[in-house]
Copies of this chain bind each other. A is one copy, B any other.
């Protein structure tokens, strides 16, 4: 039987999940930010992560479809705007495509998910499904990895710009916007969770949802490491440099 936590104790427990499980400690992430990957390995990361990026607005739309309060919907829909933009050529997904463009990938192929690792698809699809199937509280809590993202973004971007001549501020522009968007989104979700998760079972469910989401991010980097670093064996059908 878990004891009830105050909202601040719950926040502390959620931050502890990040310390234990966030993918900033994954060996692929360390190699990426320290300049120890080659161009093909970074390309594989960009290609696979496009699939994750492309599913985020679908995930957010599934969540939006479950929010009965217009005020909550107004807040949450901004996430979809951020990713899809206000017009053609705008938004986070377009900015990510500029990164895959820079590695020479064909846009139509990238957008069709051609060449991504099976594990990328399984992990990302599990996330979209989680947000559709679980309680609204758990669905919102699963977005809380954004609490930890400003740190990893700053380290990743500065490390990549320092070490790789095949990326630039322009091709990494996706991350600029996320430095302001993610904290705004995380604050909103954290306030919601601290306010709504009052019973011990709800609080434990919220922590489990954040654990789950950390697993989704971690498993994507596992797959990249296995396929493109060591032993360096992409699944049959996946992109091979």
Chain A contact residues, CB within 8 Å of chain B: 20-21, 27, 117-119, 121-123, 125-126, 129, 211, 214-216, 218-219, 222-223, 225-227, 230-231, 233, 235-237
Contact = CB atoms under 8 A, between A and B. Distances in A.
CB-CB nearest 6 A-B residue pairs: A118-B215, A122-B122, A21-B236, A226-B226, A119-B219, A122-B126
A211 B118 CA distance: 10
Copies of this protein in the complex: 2
B123 A218 contact: no
A121 B218 CA distance: 13
Main secondary structure of the interface of A (DSSP, over half): helix
Given A122-B126, A126-B126, A231-B27, A236 B222 contact: no
Contact of A122 (B123, B214, B235): B123
11 contacts: A20-B236, A27-B233, A117-B219, A119-B222, A119-B223, A122-B123, A126-B126, A211-B237, A219-B223, A225-B231, A226-B226
